[in-house]
């Protein structure tokens, strides 16, 4: 490799903005001396920008394979009268509307010319024919809608049989039939990675693992030695599916099992997840632990306007905050439901996707309760600004529901709230609840229990300073900094592609 730095290509299945973990990883690797390109996904046009010495490129990625193969074929056996997938159904509906418009015009013309008996008979026959055609098209449309709904649900006898068949015939390769959408990532990213000729590929999360593994295999066939780091952000068997189709999760599990053995090193977010991954995939090495904690190396001020200014409230108004992805299993709605019992308190939701349906439902529910002026939906700020931004709140809320993934690690927002010195109110998911009970930095409530949640919030608001004091006495904030995590990550890189490829990589 000579004196030039080795090249690291990082892969992530999102738009990079809002993903603090991958941004910090890219910046740290670049600071350590490597040539870093971070590739993310976009549904729009290609974009590029610099990120602390790294380069970010968003790769346009299609959605064609969001439909499985049988969903683009006619349902001859399941519903022979349904329209085939495609434009024919909409075409026929509009055709009937056009016919009816034409008939209305013809009738208006005849009404202006009384005594035209034969034309009236002909118009009556046409009207009857159009009515029959309209009824037939409505019936076929109903059949078509039912087919789409059943296929989307994937819970019919035919679907269950097909799932078992493909799993039995293809084993872990069955994801190709169960969720071909995974191919969209390969088709978009594969050639881009090949052109960049990386020395190391860092694949974030389970869907990018296969993309990285196949790029590694192609490089080897071309005579280049490329290393693959798999960064497991979550424990896949314990997470709530991103899509409701029952084939989705078996497909992701099979995909992960197929490609996990190809990783030269595994990185993950907690010791418990590391143990589960090692057992599940028979890893010969313990995964490196890189927690997604705040990067405090470069002090920054809170963004302008500040949190309270964006909410339109003064310093004395009680303010509870949620920061993170707006997913229903994260229980944000309990904060809205509690507001009637929390006089004068406001709730701020700092979310990555303010337009998602779940967020809109939260706003609609607040309006139903007459509390719209006390609920504030805000967008993310730059990741270095998160901690000072949050610090204006009175408490941070983490109301997770009981999913395995929620039980086994401390999540990003927990560390962010901690560095902001916020008292926290967390649900009784195992790891986080145990930590809060040990440190005393907040209160624990029973997940999804509104009364228990409200009581916990009231206890914190009654004396927030009592909880803030624990940060100086019992909370290990020095351990929860990105600087220490970056050293772990760059040590993994240096072991795989050599410390001589970057200055200070070890």
So what CATH class is 7-65+179-289?
alpha beta
pLDDT for the residue 474: 92
- The tally of CA atoms less than 13 A away on the side-chain side of residue 444 is 13
Helices (H) and strands (E) in the chain, counts: 20, 14
CA distances from 102 to 91, 96, 99, 155 (A): 16, 10, 5, 43
pLDDT for the residue 430: 95
CB 295 within 8 A of CB 386: no
pLDDT for the residue 4: 56
Q: What angle do CA 217, 223, 229 make, to 5 degrees?
A: 40
Coil, helix or strand at residue 338: helix
pLDDT for the residue 299: 59
pLDDT for the residue 502: 42
Rounded Cα gap, residues 13 and 211, in angstroms:
10
Q: Which residue has the tokens 């009515």?
A: 131
Helix 88-111 with 117-153: angle, nearest 10 deg: 160
Residue ranges of the chain with per-residue pLDDT less than 50: 1-3, 501-506
Rounded Cα gap, residues 429 and 450, in angstroms:
16
DSSP string, 409-462: S--HHHHHHHHTT--EEEE--HHHHHHHHHH-SEEEE-TT-HHHHHHHHHHHHH
pLDDT for the residue 298: 65
Label the pairing between strands 47-51 and 54-60.
antiparallel
Rounded Cα gap, residues 215 and 197, in angstroms:
9
Residue 150 burial (CB count, 10 A): 16
Tokens of 300: 């920054």
* Average pLDDT taken over every residue of the chain: 91
**pTM of the shown model:** 0.82
* Superfamily (CATH H level) for 307-480: Glycogen Phosphorylase B; (3.40.50.2000)
pLDDT for the residue 506: 35
pLDDT for the residue 504: 40
pLDDT for the residue 478: 87
Residue 319 burial (CB count, 10 A): 22
Tokens of 204: 């974030």
Selection from 176, 186, 183 nearest residue 254 by Cα? 176
């Amino acid at each position: 490799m000579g004196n030039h730095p080795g090249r690291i290509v990082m892969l992530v299945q999102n738009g990079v903005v809002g993903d603090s973990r991958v941004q910090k990883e890219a910046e740290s690797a670049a600071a350590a001396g490597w040539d870093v390109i971070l590739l993310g996904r976009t549904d729009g046009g290609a974009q590029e920008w610099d990120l602390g010495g790294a380069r970010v490129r968003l790769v346009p990625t299609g959605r064609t394979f969001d439909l499985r193969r049988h969903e683009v074929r006619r349902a001859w056996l399941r519903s022979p009268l349904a329209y085939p997938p495609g434009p024919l159904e909409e075409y026929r509906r509009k055709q009937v509307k056009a016919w009816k418009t034409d008939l209305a015009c013809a009738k208006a013309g005849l009404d202006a010319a009384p005594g035209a008996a034969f034309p009236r008979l002909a118009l009556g026959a046409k009207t009857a024919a159009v009515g029959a055609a309209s009824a037939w098209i409505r019936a076929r449309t109903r059949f078509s809608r039912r087919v789409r709904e059943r296929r989307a649900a994937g819970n019919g006898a035919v679907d269950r049989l097909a799932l078992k068949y493909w799993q039995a015939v293809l084993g872990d390769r069955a994801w190709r039939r169960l969720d071909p959408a995974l191919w969209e990532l390969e088709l978009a990213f594969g050639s881009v990675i090949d052109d960049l000729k990386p020395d190391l590929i860092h694949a974030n999360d389970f869907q990018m693992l296969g993309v990285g593994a196949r790029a590694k295999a192609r490089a080897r066939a071309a005579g280049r030695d490329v290393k693959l780091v798999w960064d497991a952000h979550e424990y896949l068997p314990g997470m709530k599916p991103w899509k409701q189709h029952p084939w989705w999760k078996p497909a992701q599990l099979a995909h992960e099992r197929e490609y996990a053995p190809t990783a030269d090193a595994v990185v993950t977010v907690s010791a418990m997840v590391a143990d589960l991954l090692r057992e599940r995939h028979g890893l010969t090495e313990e995964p490196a632990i890189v927690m997604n904690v705040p990067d405090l190396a470069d002090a920054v001020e809170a963004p302008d306007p500040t949190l309270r200014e964006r909410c339109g409230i003064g310093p004395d108004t009680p303010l509870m905050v949620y920061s993170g992805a707006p997913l229903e299993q994260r229980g944000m709605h309990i904060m809205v439901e509690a507001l009637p019992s929390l006089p004068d308190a406001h709730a701020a939701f700092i979310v990555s996707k303010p337009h998602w349906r779940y967020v809109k439902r939260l706003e609609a529910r607040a309006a139903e309760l007459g509390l719209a002026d006390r609920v504030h939906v805000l967008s993310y700020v730059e990741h270095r600004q998160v901690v000072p931004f949050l610090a204006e709140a009175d408490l941070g809320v983490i109301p997770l529901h009981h999913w395995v993934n929620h039980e086994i690690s401390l999540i990003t927002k927990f560390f962010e709230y901690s560095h902001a010195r916020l008292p926290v109110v967390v649900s009784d998911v195992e790891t986080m609840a145990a930590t809060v009970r040990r440190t005393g930095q907040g209160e624990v409530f029973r997940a999804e229990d509104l009364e228990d949640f409200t009581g916990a919030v009231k206890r914190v608001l009654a004396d927030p300073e009592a909880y803030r004091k624990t940060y100086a006495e019992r909370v290990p904030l020095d351990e929860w900094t990105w600087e220490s995590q970056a050293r772990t990550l760059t040590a993994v890189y240096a072991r795989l592609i050599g410390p001589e490829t970057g200055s200070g990589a070890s």
